[in-house]
């Protein structure tokens, strides 16, 4: 915990986020000092390539020889880690910083999701802060809300749209009638997607955020094993159109809930009713919905990524430390965090959207329905779209509720059929 007249900060990583934060901290020095009643200074910076051309000018004296020096320098009180990635220099830096009793602020969800429990233990032992508001949903202040504003509540469910890039792509496919590839290129050209957006598209980015929020919501340790993760990379424009016809929108949802002392965590694209709140979260926006007692339902919505929104979260964490607020990374002491039971979603019931594109042949439809009934799946709605010129049909089925394991089994059996044009599509329907 620090509360002194001058606090020195080191920023390690000067990419999209680090360079914006550096400029913000320099420009708003007086504002920060008013808010915290203390002076702060960015004493050192570091990045991988010192001679890289950057859109900001930093005095030579501020450059560290090696990023790890920030963890050893007695003058440094706060290290802001903005390198990224769960391993490599980010991991080395944050472990060394906490071991050397430096306060750490990070935007690194991958690192916190993987090593957050170990890091929190070191921070607690050494009486320093490990803050990671910026790691989850950028400018949406969900970490502080869970740790402070909603602390009175017993939370039963936390869910929402946690990835701006994939939400932007789904919205563009829907509203601008774009193919996945074109929507992704649009996101890249507007700076919403990184040159390698794989973790945004395969659900991993959202999964890291959900694991962190689950641990905070249910006072548990982070669970990396029992989580079902799918991204949006298999959703195409035809699915979006079909969803619209059926009265739904497709969203990449993250959901964590506790029922009878068992927690399930899942990240997957799903169909949500057009009239629902979540269906109307468009573009790069993120939204987090928390259900708890006694508060009821709380919604927080905002920009989920980008330098401005992320800097808003980073500065909030930096100010907490400047003000001398001692906080445990996961709100309660390590020993009081619970080992709760997590279970897979295989026993959970969903109704689902299935799309089976098949060769135009006799007997195909009855074989599909037979395969479904063998797996105890019943049909709520069926639409057959024949594409005569291309000699195939697209069969769209909405199932009644069934166990997730049976839905998956059916898809597996259907995917073996010789009459298929492509793998069947399976998207769960969420009643939210």
Please give the positions annotated as active site: 209
The H or E element containing residue 209 is helix 204-218
What are the distances in angstroms from CA 239 to CA 17, 22, 25, 51, 123? 35, 43, 45, 47, 46
Residue from 9, 45, 47, 235 binding ligand NAP (CB under 6 A)? 47
Q: Segment 106-125, which members bind ligand NAP (CB under 6 A)? A: 107-109
| Separation between Cα atoms, residue 132 and residue 338, nearest integer Å | 21
Q: Segment 353-392, which members bind ligand NAP (CB under 6 A)? A: none
Site membership for ligand NAP, residue 24 (CB under 6 A): no
Site membership for ligand NAP, residue 306 (CB under 6 A): yes
Burial class of residue 76, CB neighbours in 10 A (0-12, 13-18, 19+): buried
Site membership for ligand NAP, residue 89 (CB under 6 A): yes
Q: How far is the CB of 405 from ligand NAP (least distance, A)?
A: 34
Stretch that binds ligand NAP, among 103-111, 150-158, 220-228, 403-411 (CB under 6 A): 103-111
Site membership for ligand NAP, residue 10 (CB under 6 A): no
User: Which residues lie across from 397 on neighbouring strands?
Assistant: 354, 382
| Separation between Cα atoms, residue 271 and residue 283, nearest integer Å | 17
Residue from 48, 323, 349, 370 binding ligand NAP (CB under 6 A)? 48
Residue (18 or 424) nearer to ligand NAP, CB: 18
User: Could you tell me if 217 and 155 are in contact, meaning their C-beta atoms sit under 8 angstroms apart?
Assistant: yes
How many CA atoms lie within 13 Å of 232's alpha carbon, on the beta-carbon side? 33
Site membership for ligand NAP, residue 46 (CB under 6 A): yes
SS3 state at 205: helix
Residue (8 or 46) nearer to ligand NAP, CB: 46
Q: How far is the CB of 25 from ligand NAP (least distance, A)?
A: 15
Residue (17 or 406) nearer to ligand NAP, CB: 17
What are the distances in angstroms from CA 92 to CA 70, 76, 105, 123, 223? 12, 17, 14, 15, 22
Largest CA distance in the chain: 82
Stretch that binds ligand NAP, among 42-50, 70-78, 289-297, 350-358 (CB under 6 A): 42-50
First-to-last alpha carbon distance for the chain, in angstroms, is 42
Q: How far is the CB of 331 from ligand NAP (least distance, A)?
A: 21
User: Which residues lie across from 250 on neighbouring strands?
Assistant: 271
Residue from 150, 305, 318, 356 binding ligand NAP (CB under 6 A)? 305
Which residue lies nearest ligand NAP, judged by its C-beta?
A: 15
Site membership for ligand NAP, residue 213 (CB under 6 A): no
Give the footprint of ligand NAP on this chain (CB under 6 A). 12-18, 46-49, 52, 67, 82-84, 89, 107-109, 134, 138, 305-306, 310
């Amino acid at each position: 915990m620090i509360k002194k007249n001058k606090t020195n900060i080191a920023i390690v990583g000067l990419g999209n986020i680090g360079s914006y934060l550096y400029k913000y901290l320099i420009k708003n020095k007086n504002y920060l000092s008013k808010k915290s009643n203390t002076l702060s200074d960015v004493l050192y910076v570091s990045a991988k390539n010192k001679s890289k051309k950057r859109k900001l000018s930093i005095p030579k004296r501020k450059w560290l020889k090696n990023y790890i020096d920030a963890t050893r320098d007695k003058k440094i009180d706060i290290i802001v880690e903005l390198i990224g990635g769960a391993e490599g220099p980010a991991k080395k830096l944050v472990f060394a910083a906490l071991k050397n009793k430096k306060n750490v602020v990070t935007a690194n969800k991958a690192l916190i999701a993987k090593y957050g429990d170990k890091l929190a233990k070191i921070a607690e032992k050494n009486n320093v802060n490990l803050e990671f508001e910026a790691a989850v949903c950028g400018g949406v202040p969900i970490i502080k809300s869970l740790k402070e504003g909603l602390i009175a509540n017993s939370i039963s469910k936390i869910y929402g749209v946690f990835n701006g890039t994939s939400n932007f792509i789904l919205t563009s496919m829907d509203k601008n009638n774009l193919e996945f590839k074109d929507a992704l290129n649009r996101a890249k050209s507007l700076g919403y997607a990184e040159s390698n957006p794989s973790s945004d598209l395969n659900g991993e980015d959202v999964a890291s955020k959900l694991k962190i929020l689950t641990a905070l919501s249910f006072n548990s340790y982070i669970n990396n094993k029992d989580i079902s993760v799918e991204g949006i990379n298999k959703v195409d424009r035809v699915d979006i159109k079909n969803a619209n016809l059926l009265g739904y929108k497709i969203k990449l949802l993250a959901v964590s809930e506790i029922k009878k002392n068992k927690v399930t965590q899942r990240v997957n694209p799903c169909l949500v009713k057009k009239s629902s709140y979540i269906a109307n979260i468009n573009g790069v926006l993120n939204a987090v919905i928390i259900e708890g007692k006694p508060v009821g339902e709380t919604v927080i919505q905002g920009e989920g990524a980008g330098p401005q929104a992320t800097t808003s979260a980073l500065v909030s964490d930096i100010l907490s430390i400047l003000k001398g607020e001692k906080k445990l990374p996961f709100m309660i002491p390590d020993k009081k965090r619970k080992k709760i039971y997590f279970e897979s979603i295989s026993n959970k019931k969903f109704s689902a959207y299935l799309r089976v594109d098949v060769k135009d042949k006799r007997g195909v439809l009855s074989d599909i329905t037979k395969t479904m009934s063998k797996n105890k799946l019943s049909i709520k709605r069926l639409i057959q779209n024949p594409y005569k010129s291309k000699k195939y049909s697209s069969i769209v089925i909405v199932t009644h509720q069934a166990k997730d394991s049976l839905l998956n089994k059916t898809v597996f059996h259907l995917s073996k059929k010789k009459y298929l044009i492509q793998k069947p599509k399976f998207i769960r329907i969420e009643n939210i």
